[in-house]
Amino acid sequence: MKLSRNYITPFISLIFLVVGITGLLMFFHILDGYTEVAHEFLGLFFVICAIFHIIINWKALRIHFKKAVFIPAALAVAVIYGLFIVQQSLTPKVDTVLYERIVEAPIEDVFKALQVDRDETIKRLEENGISIEGAANVQELWEKNNSSAEVVFDLITDNER
């Protein structure tokens, strides 16, 4: 199938619009939890469409690459991107820090921190084939039971999927 501007241009335009809107919603924490999946998957589709767009318009793009403004623009984007990476590495997100601490905390402390009934939680875990015997923390709990973090946390918090 021959690539055609008639197909690629509407797709890339509409996906750009949706990815941009969902990105703004995520940035301002509007509809948190509802936009991330759409943003991520459509972002991947946007990249695919962008690759097709580049293939279709390669001759015209090569002319732009030769202009004097291309290198400073590319450097500016790279520097801004790098600053975001450095900033994120210096100040990790609160949820990441909390997750790491909960995973490494003793199981009994996790039950208290998450305000769940110890006996009910242990029963729920055992009903699903997960034993807390020999596990000092939550990470050991899922590792020793050949499970995953998501499954264990869902069972601890009684969060059914």
101-157 pLDDT per residue, tens: 999 999 999 999 999 999 999 999 999 999 989 899 999 999 999 998 889 989 998
HSE-up of 40 (CA within 13 Å, CB side)? 5
DSSP assigned state of 147: -
Judge whether 118 and 90 are in contact, CB under 8 Å.
Answer: no
Burial label, 49 (beta-carbon count in 10 A; 0-12, 13-18, 19+): buried
Tell me the β-bridge partners of 106. 137
pLDDT, residue 95, reads: 82
pLDDT, residue 43, reads: 95
48 pLDDT more than 90: yes
DSSP assigned state of 115: T
92 pLDDT more than 80: no
> What is the average pLDDT across 5-26?
92
Between 6 and 22, the higher pLDDT residue:
22
> What is the average pLDDT across 47-61?
92
Report the distance separating Cα 23 and Cα 112, nearest Å.
36
pLDDT above 70: percentage of residues in the chain: 98
Band (28; pLDDT cuts 50, 70, 90): very high
**Amino acid at residue number 125:** L
Phi, psi of 148 (to 5 degrees): -130, 160
